[in-house]
Amino acid sequence: MTFNHVVQFLQTLAPLAHLTPAEISILKTPHHLHQAELHLNGKKYPAFRIQFNNARGPYKGGIRFHPEVNEDEVKSLAFWMTLKTAVADIPFGGGKGGVIVDPKTLNEKELQVLSRAYVRAFADHLGSNIDIPAPDVYTNGQIMAWMLDEYEQQVGYHDPGMITGKPLELGGSLVRDIATALGGVFVLEEAVKKLKFKGKRIAIQGFGNAGMNAAKLLAQRGFTIIAVSDSKGGVFDAKGLNVDEVVKIKDNTGSVQNYSSGKKMSNEELLTLDCDILVPSALSEVITEKNADAVKAKIVLELANGPTTPEADKILHRNNILVLPDILANAGGVTVSYFEWVQNQSGYYWKEEEVRARLREKMTEAFGKLWSAWEGKKYDFRTATYIHAVKKVLAAERLRGKV
Ligand code: GLU
């Protein structure tokens, strides 16, 4: 989503949250925009690290490797991280990183060189009490491991808390690999309880870390996954897909579309499919003013960042569709990143059950607070979530004497 959209949204929020022009200015101004060019095989890859706001704690947010990364988008994502950490009530600010690269064109060795180059370029600005990256689109635990190693070589001491989403052997946390999806499932379960919602048919767009794990977790909980998709397209079966089988097919052939007993469908068709719950789990701006009116789901669980445009949001609200917004729905990832950081800082590691229980507690509390603040209001649930988040950021800024 463009940063212009973000600013527009802040403006619409202003009267509802009683924001002054000075407060809006603080909220929309990133602290630092770091840029670099990473060199690999004679080619240059533009790279960014945007540190948006650290009033509530060190900057925090993932690094994405994607051909469509651009500074404007990284800025929006860094802004959202600022709000996401506030919603999840964890002591971090917001930041985000990106490299304009198609990682699918690189071999393992090249990927390692690029990951290390990223850290060398921004090492002065990173650290467990400064700015803490994590995985995002097309980055993973192995990349975090190379980045940690490069950072520790640069500074000359161990600092596992400088990055999260690491493999367990290097100080990662149990549950981090499925945390985004699991956090989303906890939020969905709370919403279902509040609405006494009976619908079980789910369509999931995107089959990366978030989408795939959501499919598995929701199927285990008795939901029927009727459609899933990846960048190549989707597959649909009204009776429900065999999720384990789809995962196998994806692993073996590269696309869920090769699942043989379903009907093929496009990503676009999946979004407007007759289902009860829609879970966009891929890239941003997929629900737009063009298709929002055709969305048939009654609940949208945003596991992706920014999947719904502001225009589409208005249409969904008008059509009585509950959107569980990204900064709440996918906050499970950064929440377990926080747990990972806590474990790194204390050098004491928790059991799986403890991480799961703490994640459930955090997500349930966040949802409960937002729901009670929203009940009876005319505006949508996303607006209530944003109001809550910006107020928390501003409260910290006020105590610091910045507003
Ligand atoms: N990239 C994830 C997100 O957008 C995780 C960020 C983190 O763990 O710092 O929320």
Q: State pLDDT tens for residues 370-385.
A: 999 999 999 999 999 9
Residues 6+ apart with CB under 8 A from 157: none
Tell me, yes or no, whether 190 and 216 share the same domain.
yes
The tens digit of pLDDT for each residue in 20-61 reads 999 999 999 999 999 999 999 999 999 999 999 999 999 999
Q: Is 106 in the pocket of ligand 1 (CB under 6 A)?
A: no
In the chain, how many domains are there? Answer: 2
Q: How far apart are CA 161 and CA 342, in angstroms?
A: 8
Instruction: Give the atom of ligand 1 at the shortest distance from the alpha carbon of 61.
Output: 9
Tell me, yes or no, whether 239 and 167 share the same domain.
no
Pair 210, 330: CB distance under 8 Å: yes
The last residue of one of the domains, among 129, 152, 171, is 171
Taking the centre of ligand 1 as the mean of its atom positions, its distance from the CA of residue 179, in whole angstroms, is 10
Taking the centre of ligand 1 as the mean of its atom positions, its distance from the CA of residue 333, in whole angstroms, is 6
Which domain, by its residues, includes 57? 31-171
Q: How far apart are CA 64 and CA 117, in angstroms?
A: 14
Phi, psi of 39 (to 5 degrees): -100, 130
- 51 domain residue, yes or no: yes
- 90 domain residue, yes or no: yes
pLDDT of residue 283 exceeding 90: no
- 362 domain residue, yes or no: no
- 83 domain residue, yes or no: yes
Tell me, yes or no, whether 188 and 320 share the same domain.
yes
pLDDT of residue 8 exceeding 90: no
Q: What is the pLDDT of residue 2?
A: 87
- 354 domain residue, yes or no: no
Q: Is 98 in the pocket of ligand 1 (CB under 6 A)?
A: no
- Percent residues over pLDDT 90 in the chain: 97
Residue nearest to atom 9 of ligand 1 (CA): 61
The last residue of one of the domains, among 171, 201, 227, is 171
Tell me, yes or no, whether 114 and 248 share the same domain.
no
Taking the centre of ligand 1 as the mean of its atom positions, its distance from the CA of residue 304, in whole angstroms, is 11
Tell me, yes or no, whether 76 and 188 share the same domain.
no
Tell me, yes or no, whether 146 and 271 share the same domain.
no
The tens digit of pLDDT for each residue in 63-115 reads 999 999 999 999 999 999 999 999 999 999 999 999 999 999 999 999 999 99
Is residue 96 among the annotated active site residues?
A: yes
pLDDT of residue 151 exceeding 90: yes
Q: Is 333 in the pocket of ligand 1 (CB under 6 A)?
A: yes
- 251 domain residue, yes or no: yes
Q: Is 134 in the pocket of ligand 1 (CB under 6 A)?
A: yes
Mean pLDDT of all residues in the chain? 97
Q: How far apart are CA 313 and CA 43, in angstroms?
A: 40
Q: Is 62 in the pocket of ligand 1 (CB under 6 A)?
A: yes
The tens digit of pLDDT for each residue in 195-248 reads 999 999 999 999 999 999 999 999 999 999 999 999 999 999 999 999 999 999
**For position 124, which CATH number holds?**
3.40.50.10860
Tell me, yes or no, whether 216 and 266 share the same domain.
yes
Tell me, yes or no, whether 63 and 41 share the same domain.
yes
Phi, psi of 292 (to 5 degrees): -60, -40
Tell me, yes or no, whether 81 and 35 share the same domain.
yes
Q: What is the pLDDT of residue 344?
A: 98
Catalytic pick from 60, 75, 84, 96? 96
Tell me, yes or no, whether 163 and 50 share the same domain.
yes
Q: Is 305 in the pocket of ligand 1 (CB under 6 A)?
A: yes
Kindly report the length of the chain.
403
The last residue of one of the domains, among 301, 329, 357, is 329
- 381 domain residue, yes or no: no
Tell me, yes or no, whether 66 and 192 share the same domain.
no
Pair 184, 301: CB distance under 8 Å: yes
**For position 290, which CATH number holds?**
3.40.50.720
Tell me the whole-structure pTM to 2 decimals: 0.97
Q: Is 60 in the pocket of ligand 1 (CB under 6 A)?
A: yes
Radius of gyration of the chain (CA): 20
Q: How far apart are CA 269 and CA 18, in angstroms?
A: 40
The tens digit of pLDDT for each residue in 105-120 reads 999 999 999 999 999 9
Instruction: Give the atom of ligand 1 at the shortest distance from the alpha carbon of 338.
Output: 8
- 312 domain residue, yes or no: yes
Taking the centre of ligand 1 as the mean of its atom positions, its distance from the CA of residue 144, in whole angstroms, is 12
Tell me, yes or no, whether 194 and 139 share the same domain.
no
pLDDT of residue 323 exceeding 90: yes
